[in-house]
């Protein structure tokens, strides 16, 4: 049995990890920035132990790097990093999608449609108020991606693809801030992908998914 204190501790760690993850994604904690435990504790709350546990979790996700002598820092975000993330996503995400389409039922399709609708609403909001709605737009995209993978039947593949998606978020949000990402184009690709899934066309669905993943390279001006 888990104690209430243990559950509370895990909740605090999750909250801190979520806040740091968000700030890394939005560039408030820039690449290669040192992450000092005491400064983070004052910024996010919690204890030194909970902050350290949160950073350890983010290290496992690839957003933070740990060094025995130098402590923690935000992971780098170079063009080569982006290429590597995109290459991995383009290989693994289609596997997860194919497995989801093979195993997914009507309930899964309903959840996917709901996630797509939420992403459409978020697109409308971010076009109207880019600064205010950027986080909601990004979270809606993350939820849509999670829905694509959720029926694949492999917790490990779900975890890996989610981690890679999270690692790509700061590039995507940077593109949005710099006007290099058109949310309408993203929404168009998501609709084409959803249509192919509902038509049970695996080939078209995976093609649309890979095109959307690789568009991050073009938007960033990386070749």
Task: Please report the pLDDT score of residue 61 as a whole number.
Answer: 80
Q: Are residues 64 and 86 in the same domain?
A: no
Among 61, 60, 88, 63, which Cα is nearest to 76's?
63
Domain holding 51, by residue range, is 4-74
**Nearest-10 crossing angle of helices 155-177, 130-149:** 160
CA 223 from centroid of its chain's CA atoms: 22
Same domain for 87 and 54: no
Residue 57's CATH number: 1.10.10.10
Provide the residue-wise pLDDT of the chain in tens; the chain has 223 residues.
334 455 557 788 989 988 898 888 778 898 889 999 999 999 999 899 999 999 998 998 888 999 877 789 998 888 898 999 999 999 999 999 999 999 999 999 999 999 999 999 999 999 999 878 888 898 899 999 999 999 999 999 999 999 899 888 888 888 888 888 899 999 999 999 999 999 999 999 999 999 999 987 765 544 4
Check whether residue 112 and residue 174 sit in a common domain: yes
74 secondary structure, DSSP code: E
Distance CA 46, CA 49 (A): 8
Task: Examine the domain organization and report whether 182 and 158 are in the same domain.
Answer: yes
Same domain, 16 and 105: no
* 71 beta partners: 67
The residue out of 74, 89, 120 marking a domain boundary is 74
Task: Give me the count of residues in the chain.
Answer: 223
Domain total of the chain: 2
Q: 99 and 12 in one domain?
A: no
Say which CATH number the domain at 91 has. 1.20.120.530
**Structural tokens at position 50:** 């909970």
Nearest to 216 by CA among 183, 188, 190, 181: 181
**Are residue 66 and residue 89 in the same domain, yes or no?**
no
Cα–Cα nearest to 37, from 74, 75, 76, 72: 72
pLDDT, position 219: 53
User: In this structure, are 39 and 97 located in the same domain?
Assistant: no
Residue 105 three-state SS: coil
**What pLDDT shows up at residue 8?**
58
């Amino acid at each position: 049995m888990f104690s209430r204190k243990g559950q509370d501790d895990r909740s605090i760690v999750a909250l801190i990890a979520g806040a740091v993850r968000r700030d890394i994604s939005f560039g408030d904690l820039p690449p290669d920035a040192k992450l000092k435990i005491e400064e983070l504790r004052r910024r996010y709350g919690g204890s030194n132990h909970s902050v350290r546990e949160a950073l350890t979790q983010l290290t496992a996700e690839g957003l933070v790097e740990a060094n025995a002598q130098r402590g923690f820092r935000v992971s780098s975000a170079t063009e080569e990093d982006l290429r590597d993330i995109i290459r991995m996503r383009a290989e693994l995400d289609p596997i997860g999608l194919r497995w989801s389409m093979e195993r997914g039922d009507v309930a899964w399709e309903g959840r996917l449609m709901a996630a797509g609708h939420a992403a459409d609403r978020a697109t409308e909001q971010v076009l109207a108020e880019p600064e205010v709605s950027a986080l909601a737009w990004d979270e809606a995209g993350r939820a849509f991606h999670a829905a694509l993978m959720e029926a694949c039947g492999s917790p490990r593949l779900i975890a890996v693809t989610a981690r890679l998606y999270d690692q790509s978020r700061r590039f995507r949000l940077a593109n949005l801030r710099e006007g290099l990402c058109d949310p309408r184009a993203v929404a168009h690709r998501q609709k084409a992908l959803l249509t192919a899934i509902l038509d049970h066309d695996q080939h078209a669905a995976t093609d649309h998914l890979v095109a959307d993943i690789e568009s991050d390279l073009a938007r960033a001006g990386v070749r």
